[in-house]
Amino acid sequence: MGKFNNKIEAEFNPPRKWILSRKLTYTNPEIDEDALERVGVEVKGSKITVKKDFVTDLASVPRVCWAFVAPWDVARAAIIHDLLYKRIRQYRAEKKKKLGNWEDPKVIRRAKRAADNAFNMAMKDAEPSIARWKIAAAYYSVRMFGRWSIIPRDED
């Protein structure tokens, strides 16, 4: 069982970004620390920390789906997940710069799986609780479609 340190405190920065006004942490002993640390995520004592001033879009849920799963339904877990995916993108960009187009696909797959599992656990640990069907919809969405979100971006 994991837990968050507090609620989100963030400022809206139109059109779709939020900037954290204080840090957000999530702790869970089941996090695959090794897989995440290999791509540069700092995990201390099973705790992931998203620092103040981190920029997030909460959850990248298409607007047409908001009637079912809105970004704020899974927001804290989504912020943790955004940080993990950002670190994977940065790792891949760094490897590409150093080694050309070579990267270890096993490291990337394992890190993505660890990030997606942390997202799933964080949603289950959220208070107030999130409906199980929403957790399943969000989790399976990132498992299936998240591969495009770990491609390096210029803004990272």
Domain boundaries, given as residue ranges, for the chain = 3-150
In the structure, what pLDDT confidence band is assigned to residue 52 with cuts at 50, 70 and 90? Answer: very high
Q: What is the pLDDT of residue 97?
A: 86
3-state secondary structure of 69: coil
Neighbours of 16 (CB within 10 A): 11
Which residues contact residue 76 at a Cβ distance below 8 angstroms, ignoring those fewer than 6 apart?
4, 7, 8, 24, 26, 122, 126
Q: What is the pLDDT of residue 8?
A: 95
Q: What is the pLDDT of residue 91?
A: 95
**Is the pLDDT score of 45 beyond 90?**
yes
In the structure, what pLDDT confidence band is assigned to residue 68 with cuts at 50, 70 and 90? Answer: confident
Secondary structure E strands in the chain:
3-4, 10-13, 17-20, 24-27, 43-44, 47-50, 55-56
Instruction: Give per-residue pLDDT as tens, 90-136.
Output: 999 999 888 777 789 999 999 999 999 999 999 999 999 999 999 99
Q: What is the pLDDT of residue 66?
A: 75
In this structure, which amino acid lies at residue 80?
A: I
Neighbours of 120 (CB within 10 A): 19
